[in-house]
């Protein structure tokens, strides 16, 4: 095995040390942390060409300098005594993973499609990204060249999004695999995947690799959206009013799940949201659910519901009981004459015991075996913060039961003839809620169509399905 001559290694190491902007003391501390045993004086003498060191100590010094160079600007790096094998894979799934991670590091959001394309080449795939718009009606392509949007209700890609599954099409020049793009369990869009090496899209191994790729890419889409507007503006089909901007920034993801519960939410009008917010918090033992509603669409509605949401979250995260959370919301001044109604619920994921408090709000709707359980009646007229916290309502759920918190504007939305959408129709949509986020999307879409797009109050729903292992 050939080794780099010590004199040449010493010369290049000294040059790289100067570029690292480390002091000799700082270099020695890093070298010592790697297991080095030479003194600071010996290291300093070596850097100045006054002495020699064993090869293992020279390489530890080189590694310490290289770590610092990586923090600053990257290569060129200090050489080791023998050539190191290139650790980067040349092809296959691991190469695709490395390309995604390295390409996304410090990349602005709009560069993500190019990063994904590079990762796809390592798998002999051509990959296209489609993200769902915020109204969840169309899939918007992320690519430099013009491309058509895909309707979620009528296309194969839309069907994959609705089912959170996969599909293969063979009606184009090349067979194409479509798979849902997920961040955890939240549907973000779909991937269009075309093998460039003649591979069969139905190959189980290829499908598994594409699933890994879609899962990692979903995380990258969410992360990069948080520090730039490049992806966010592509998902917007209309102007978003300032109240809606405030509320969307306050909402959790539209989907959340553990191994025993799945929750999905939807709010309308998506681009002109004004006075409805929802929240949830999932843990091993319980699911905490909430919805707040400021009623008619007024100027102060958004600030009122955001204040209520913040008070609820602060109390919940302090470990407050359900009654204490209720009182915390009641103590929060709305800053206007707007009255906020709402419902706070807790579901014990081990026993199925559901407990809730509602204030001027529709009680939770529970559907069992396709039929709604009887309405338990209304609670207090509004949130208040004294000793009169109302009695908690309890119901024992069965595995497979579906629970929904919904706003006044959902069931009370009226059509052109003045007919309200109705609680019974809401229950009908919940009867087959095997995929809660899709159920929530379809339900709010039906409400918008029922009202001919003229919603006087926001329509929001939070659907939860309890399915313990």
**319 shares a domain with 301:** yes
Neighbours of 194 (CB within 10 A): 18
Neighbours of 441 (CB within 10 A): 26
Residue 374 Cα distances to 122, 368, 395, 423, angstroms:
57, 11, 11, 11
* Exposure string for 8-19, b = 16+ CB within 10 A, e = fewer: ebbebbeebbee
CA atoms within 13 A on the CB side of 313: 17
Structurally, the chain folds into a number of domains equal to 3
**302 shares a domain with 221:** no
**56 shares a domain with 184:** no
Give Cα 315 distance to the centre of its chain. Answer: 24
**147 shares a domain with 17:** no
Domain at 380, CATH number = 3.60.40.10
Q: Which residues of the chain have pLDDT under 50?
A: 1
Q: Does residue 357 lie in a domain region?
A: yes
Cβ atoms of residues 407 and 416 within 8 Å: no
Q: Could you say which of 233, 262, 277 is where a domain stops?
A: 233
* Exposure string for 54-74, b = 16+ CB within 10 A, e = fewer: eeebbbbbbbbbbebbeeeee
Q: Does residue 42 lie in a domain region?
A: yes
**256 shares a domain with 226:** no
What pLDDT does 1 receive? 44
- In whole angstroms, what is the distance from residue 190 CA to residue 193 CA? 10
Q: Does residue 83 lie in a domain region?
A: no
pTM: 0.78
Q: Does residue 431 lie in a domain region?
A: yes
Q: Residue 323: give the domain boundaries.
A: 239-466
**252 shares a domain with 220:** no
Domain at 212, CATH number = 3.30.450.40
If DSSP states are collapsed to H, E and C, what string results for 337-353? CCCCEEEEEEEECCCCE
**166 shares a domain with 45:** no
**166 shares a domain with 130:** yes
**164 shares a domain with 43:** no
Q: Does residue 79 lie in a domain region?
A: no
Q: Could you say which of 175, 200, 233 is where a domain stops?
A: 233
**263 shares a domain with 407:** yes
**448 shares a domain with 299:** yes
DSSP H or E segment with residue 11: helix 6-20
Q: Does residue 86 lie in a domain region?
A: no
Q: Does residue 150 lie in a domain region?
A: yes
Strand order, beta sheet including 186-195? 150-151, 138-142, 125-132, 186-195, 176-183, 166-169
Q: Could you say which of 233, 258, 275 is where a domain stops?
A: 233
- In whole angstroms, what is the distance from residue 20 CA to residue 63 CA? 12
Which of 353, 333, 336, 337 minimizes the C-alpha distance to 345?
353
Which of 179, 141, 172, 175 minimizes the C-alpha distance to 157?
179
Residue 284 Cα distances to 171, 237, 287, 347, angstroms:
45, 38, 8, 11
pLDDT tens-digit profile of 411-469?
Answer: 999 998 899 999 999 999 999 878 999 999 999 999 999 999 889 899 999 999 999 87
DSSP H or E segment with residue 395: strand 393-396
- In whole angstroms, what is the distance from residue 109 CA to residue 156 CA? 27
End-to-end CA distance of the chain: 57
Cβ atoms of residues 190 and 178 within 8 Å: yes
Q: Does residue 85 lie in a domain region?
A: no
What pLDDT does 378 receive? 62
- In whole angstroms, what is the distance from residue 424 CA to residue 82 CA? 75
**462 shares a domain with 323:** yes
């Amino acid at each position: 095995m050939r080794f780099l001559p010590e004199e040449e290694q010493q010369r290049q190491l000294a040059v790289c040390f100067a570029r690292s902007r480390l002091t000799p003391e700082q270099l020695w501390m890093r070298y010592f942390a790697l297991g080095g045993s030479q003194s600071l004086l010996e290291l300093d003498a070596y850097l100045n060409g006054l002495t020699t060191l064993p090869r293992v100590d020279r390489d530890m010094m080189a590694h310490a300098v290289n770590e610092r160079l990586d923090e600053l600007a990257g290569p060129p790096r200090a050489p080791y005594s023998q050539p190191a094998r290139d650790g980067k894979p040349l092809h296959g799934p691991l190469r695709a993973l490395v390309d995604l991670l390295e390409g996304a590091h410090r990349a602005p959001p709009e560069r993500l499609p190019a990063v994904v394309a590079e990762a796809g080449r390592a798998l002999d795939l051509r990959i296209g990204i489609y993200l769902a718009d915020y109204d969840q009606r169309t899939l918007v392509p992320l690519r430099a060249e013009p491309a058509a949007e895909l309707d979620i209700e009528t296309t194969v890609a839309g069907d994959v999004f609705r089912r959170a599954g996969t599909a293969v099409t063979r009606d184009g020049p090349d067979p194409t695999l479509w798979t849902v793009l997920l961040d955890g369990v939240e549907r973000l869009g779909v991937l269009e995947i075309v093998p460039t090496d003649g591979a069969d899209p139905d190959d189980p191994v290829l499908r598994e690799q594409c699933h890994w790729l879609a899962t990692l890419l979903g995380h990258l889409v969410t992360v990069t959206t948080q520090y730039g507007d490049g992806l966010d503006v592509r998902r917007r089909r209309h102007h978003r009013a300032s109240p809606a901007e405030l509320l969307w920034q306050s909402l959790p993801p539209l989907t959340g799940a553990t191994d025993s519960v799945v929750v999905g939410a939807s709010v309308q009008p998506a681009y002109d949201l004004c006075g409805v917010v929802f929240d949830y918090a999932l843990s091993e033992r319980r699911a905490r659910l909430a919805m707040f509603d400021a009623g008619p669409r007024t100027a102060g509605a958004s600030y009122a519901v955001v204040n209520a949401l913040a008070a609820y979250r602060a109390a919940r995260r302090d470990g407050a009981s359900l009654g204490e959370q209720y009182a915390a919301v009641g103590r929060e001044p709305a800053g206007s004459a707007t009255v906020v109604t709402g419902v706070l619920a807790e579901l014990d994921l081990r026993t199925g015991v559901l407990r809730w408090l509602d204030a001027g709000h529709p009680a939770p709707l529970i559907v069992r075996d396709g039929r709604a359980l009887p309405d338990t009646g209304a609670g207090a007229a509004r949130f208040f913060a004294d000793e009169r916290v109302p009695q908690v309502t309890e119901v024992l759920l069965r595995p497979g039961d579906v629970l929904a918190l919904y706003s006044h504007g959902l069931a009370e939305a009226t059509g052109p003839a003045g007919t309200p959408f109705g609680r019974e129709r809401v229950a009908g949509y919940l009867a087959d809620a095997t995929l809660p986020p899709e159920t929530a999307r379809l339900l709010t879409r039906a409400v918008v169509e029922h009202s001919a797009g003229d919603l006087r109050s926001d329509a929001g729903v939070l659907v939860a399905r309890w399915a313990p292992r």
